[in-house]
Amino acid sequence: MTAITEFRTASPAPEYDHPREERRLEGHPQRTTWNHFTNASGEVHAGIWACEKGSWRIEFAPGKDEYFHVLEGRCRVIDEQGRAAEAGPGDALVIPGGFKGVFEVVEPVRKHYVIVERNTGDAS
């Protein structure tokens, strides 16, 4: 059966993690994910993500794109050339496949996310 996913009525179990030690730059932020939806093929995920203040290096696979909309707090995404995009409540960003840079949580953040992971055939 196919059903609509309503974030306000769903209560998925939270998943907790921290940035991997080799990627961590500042702090030891706990990240909490409430994944509300994964499609049948496992290529699309949507939910709510929250994180404490800190920063770490990120590297997206070529076929992985993330759209997010900040609900509260502030974050900054910095590319390898040092260009930064900052987002606060009401702002939205897309991190494209193949992106390399830094994710910085400036103020504890909570966001809606949608991640699309396509198989690009790239084994790297």
- The tens digit of pLDDT for each residue in 12-70 reads 999 999 999 999 999 999 999 999 999 999 999 999 999 999 999 999 999 999 999 99
Distance between CA atoms of residues 121 and 73, nearest Å: 36
Q: Which domains does the chain have, with CATH numbers?
A: 15-117 (2.60.120.10)
The model carries a pTM of 0.92
Selection from 37, 69, 33 nearest residue 48 by Cα:
33
Residue 61 sits at the vertex; the CA angle it makes with 36 and 37, to the nearest 5 degrees, is 10
The sign one gets for the Cα dihedral 123, 35, 66, 22 is negative
